[in-house]
Amino acid sequence: MTTARTVERMAGQRIMSGFHGTTLNTDLRFLIDTIGVCGIILFSRNIESPGQLRDLCAGAAEYAESAGLSRLLIAVDQEGGSVARLRPPEFGYLPGAPELTDEADAETYAAAAAEQLRRMHINMNMAPVLDVAPPGFDSIMKDRVYGRDPDRVSRMGRAVIRGLRKGGILPVAKHFPGIGRTTSDSHLDRPDLAVSPESLQRYDLIPFRDAIREGVSGIMLSHIRYPAIDGDWPASLSTIISRDLLRRKLGYTGVVFTDDLEMGAISKYYDISEIMARVLEAETDVALICESRSVTGEAFETMCRHMTDNPAHVEQARHSIRRIAALKEIANEPK
């Protein structure tokens, strides 16, 4: 028999949340001891200085342990270049993907990023970006990609994955199954990418397929809708893409994350109950909610309700919890 408390623990461990503030404040304590999130994600609003950030991350991790939770995942988008939450002058500069010329450069970036994050008690980087922006195309990702050729993106991405893991940081590749051929911003609205499954296989999926072989720790789903694959749901809410394509066809057995579910591509079109029902149906492991404590609370409550009403969701959740626990074990390995 599955108790209400067991359902709550499983639901909480399938949420990673952002928060406001630079200290272990009431909101952050709520996320840890009431929701029981698997992890937190940091933004510029949470970062003032190296000393403050170390105290925040160490304090959050210690508080999670005191609340009876396993190791807290502490994530950040530290791609380098234009997307870096730890920035000069307080932190060292990291070059962005377009500035890296070869795999040696990529490994150097990864080593520097890993050292920088590890010193702050951060254990997960939402990188590398494995999107491919075609030549002569005004891609929304043109300033964040490793190149215009899938094979180059694959080589560079694998080098970053190796370097981050060697440095004790969990890499999360994004944005599956690829948003390099889009021009609209999913932070604002829901883009469509009208390409055939065959075209996706020959182009966008190559870096992700190779990242899986390299042992990437996590994969983040995009908020793009791919009408030729699933005309109803964006990738982050799609059973066809998350379960059937990523897990069954590509054989990925690691942790799958949504992108931020408060972005316009999702929040403009779906309510939180519908969103969490889709996350469960798609067998996606972690729902990423980056902004609002109230939305995180609603997501937790609706996930609990869906799991209570449908025992199949509880059984599937057990698989997700095992994958998340295995990831935390890697994060806890001595370096």
Cβ-in-10-Å burial (0-12, 13-18, 19+) of 301 comes to: middle
Let me know: does 205 contact 242? Beta carbons within 8 Å: no
Catalytic residue among 77, 204, 259, 260: 259
Nearest to 41 by CA among 117, 109, 97, 116: 117
The residue among 320, 318, 209 whose CA lies nearest residue 254 is: 320
Instruction: Give the DSSP letter of residue 247.
Output: I
- Bridge partners (DSSP) of residue 260 are 288
The single-letter DSSP state of residue 98 is G
Q: H or E segment at 300? A: helix 293-309
CA angle 280, 282, 285 (to 5 degrees): 65
Task: Write phi, then psi, for 84 (nearest 5 degrees).
Answer: -150, 120
Q: Which of 102, 143, 151, 187 is catalytic?
A: 187
Nearest in space to 77 (alpha carbons), one of 17, 12, 7, 128: 128
Q: What angle do CA 171, 174, 179 make, to 5 degrees?
A: 165
Q: Which residues of 261-287 are buried (b: 16+ CB within 10 A; e: fewer)?
A: bbbebbbeebebeebbbbbbbbbbbbb
Known catalytic residue at 319 = no
Q: Which amino acid is at 82?
A: S
Residue 259 is among the residues annotated as catalytic for this protein: yes
Residue 310's CB is within 10 A of a number of other CB atoms, namely 14
d(CA 176, CA 115): 27
Could you tell me what percentage of the chain is helix, strand and coil, using 3-state DSSP and rounding each to the nearest 5? Answer: 45, 15, 40
What are the catalytic residues?
187, 259
